[in-house]
Amino acid sequence: MIAVDLDGTLLSSEARVSPRNLAALLAAQAAGIHIAIATGRRHCYAMRVLRQLGLAAHNTLISSNGAVTRTLDHRQLDRMHLPAATALWLCEHIRDYRNALVVTFDRVDPDGEDASGALVVEHLDELHASIGKWMTANEPYIAQVDPIEQALQGDPPIQMMLCGTLDRMRRAEARLLEHEGVSAEGIAPLDRIHTAEVALHRTEYPERDLCIVDILPAGCSKGAALLRLARAHDVETEEILAIGDNWNDVSMLEAAGSAVIMANAPADLKQMAHQRGWQIGLDHNHDGVAATLEDLLQTHEPAATEC
């Protein structure tokens, strides 16, 4: 099984899958390797890219940083929710950052498209300033609700996220961690992990002065979702290769038997990778995924049946 991140890993800086990367994925699929795309994007937004690739429907999309797992033909395999009561106290706890807040609901139609209101915001201006292209691309799914608590009276969300500059989001993350119910994934002390209700996952893009802090149910991560998927397919940990480029990929890199960090990853993450013995691959604009998979396939014997 291979687990591949999307943005900054499989996708180039122009948000495209190169012909060489696609050829490598299809070759891995033909060799009987199960492909799991693991992304911070929600299902609908990730499928805008994936449905163009021609990957087999039995392959898997782990979306919203591990909150939801579906096959590429949209069959739900796994999903975690953020309890509405938890989301309500979080809205109050981060009152100073509500203009940077997006709440995500898993409202996916049978064709994989989101329903209107899958994304809820209280304010628009700050989000357009920090993630304007994303806001425009997702406009059909965004509902503005003020106060945002009114959107939390029905189905529970799958995640919340804060978006803004590196400095502001680091301050927001520090504010969140002041609450005993919040843990930083892979960083919090053990006594906090046992009492935490939510876990934070950070993604940074220094060249854009952009940071995204995802707020997910405790125990929810790309790594946890990947391990559940592997067990369902009778795949051992040492048979998993994970490829990623950012902090929200750390859990799946830790979960895999083999881990590769892209050369375009943040410098401090690459330093961690060196310390842990993870491979540093080529960057996302030089077919880093393909180079890694081509090396793998040179030594991989085709399976008798697909995973």
pLDDT tens figures, 268-303: 999 999 999 999 999 999 999 999 999 999 876 555
Stated as kind and residue range, the H or E segment containing 2 is: strand 2-4
Strand partners, 7: none
Burial class of residue 166 (count of CB atoms within 10 Å of its CB; 0-12, 13-18, 19+): middle
- In this structure, are 263 and 196 located in the same domain? no
Runs of H (alpha helix) within 148-304: 166-177, 190-195, 222-232, 250-255, 267-276, 288-299
d(CA 66, CA 223) in angstroms, rounded, equals 7
Q: Which of 217, 244, 273 is the last residue of a domain?
A: 217
Strand partners, 3: 36, 242
Summarised one tens digit per residue, pLDDT across range 47-101 is 999 999 999 999 999 999 999 999 999 999 999 999 999 999 999 999 999 999 9
pLDDT of the residue at 271 = 95
306 within domain boundaries? no
Q: Which of 159, 189, 217 is the last residue of a domain?
A: 217
34 within domain boundaries? yes
Q: What count of other Cβ atoms lies within 10 Å of the Cβ of residue 124?
A: 12
Low-confidence stretches of the chain (pLDDT < 50) are 186-193, 304-307
Contact 187, 254 (CB under 8 A): no
- In this structure, are 142 and 208 located in the same domain? yes
Crossing angle (nearest 10°) for helices 166-177 and 84-93: 120
- Helix, strand, coil shares, percent, the chain, to 5: 45, 20, 35
pTM: 0.88
Sign of CA dihedral 287, 290, 292, 295: negative
Beta strands in 39-104 (DSSP E): 60-63, 68-71, 76-79, 101-104
Contacts of 246 (CB under 8 A, 6+ apart): 5, 8, 203, 204, 265, 266, 269
CATH of the domain at 231: 3.40.50.1000
pLDDT of the residue at 183 = 85
Domain of residue 166: give its range.
84-217
